[in-house]
Amino acid sequence: DAGVTQSPTHLIKTRGQQVTLRCSPKSGHDTVSWYQQALGQGPQFIFQYYEEEERQRGNFPDRFSGHQFPNYSSELNVNALLLGDSALYLCASSLVAGIGAGDTQYFGPGTRLTVL
């Protein structure tokens, strides 16, 4: 049973560039959430995708956008990169099934983004 996968593992970009991160959910899951984790902090919710639509969004600027494909995989795009965007970007998958099981999110290994 494949878990959540993310690519790439590491990425180095310069200010002003654009980046795309990819995520494949755990087998059987249909919902993907993205989080940003700065060093020494807990993950911060960016947004969640279900049925190819953004279901909920956290307090992140429009530079952060996403997409979900029919096979449930997802992309996170960040435009006009800032130094402060350097972080571990985590993808989590879940199954929208109501209270309990539907809330449980399983994380992928993350993508470490460094902005120079």
Partner 1 sequence: QKEVEQNSGPLSVPEGAIASLNCTYSDRGSQSFFWYRQYSGKSPELIMSIYSNGDKEDGRFTAQLNKASQYVSLLIRDSQPSDSATYLCAVTRSNTGKLIFGQGTTLQVKP
Instruction: Kindly tell me which of 70 and 98 has the beta carbon lying closer to partner 1.
Output: 98
66 touching partner 1, by CB under 8 A: no
Neighbours of 104 (CB within 10 A): 12
- Write out the binding residues for partner 1, residues 10-39 only, by CB under 8 A: 31, 33, 35
CB 77 within 8 A of CB 85: no
The answer to whether the bond into 8 is cis (omega within 30° of 0) is: yes
Q: Binding of partner 1 at residue 45 (CB under 8 A)?
A: yes
Q: Which of 41, 77, 79, 114 binds partner 1 (CB under 8 A)?
A: 41
Rounded Cα distance between 111 and 90, Å, is 7
Q: Residue 90 is encoded by which pair of tokens? A: 């985590």
Of the residues 43, 63, 81, 93, which one makes contact with partner 1 according to CB under 8 A:
43
> Quick one: which of 55, 67, 73, 95 contacts partner 1 (CB under 8 A)?
55
**Across 25-110, where does the E strand assignment appear?**
31-37, 44-50, 53-57, 64-68, 74-78, 87-94, 106-107
DSSP secondary structure letter of residue 29: -
Binding of partner 1 by 107 (CB under 8 A): yes
95 binds partner 1 (CB under 8 A): no
Q: Which residues of this protein are in contact with partner 1, per CB under 8 A?
A: 31, 33, 35, 40-45, 48, 50, 55-56, 58, 88, 90, 92, 94, 96, 98-100, 102-110
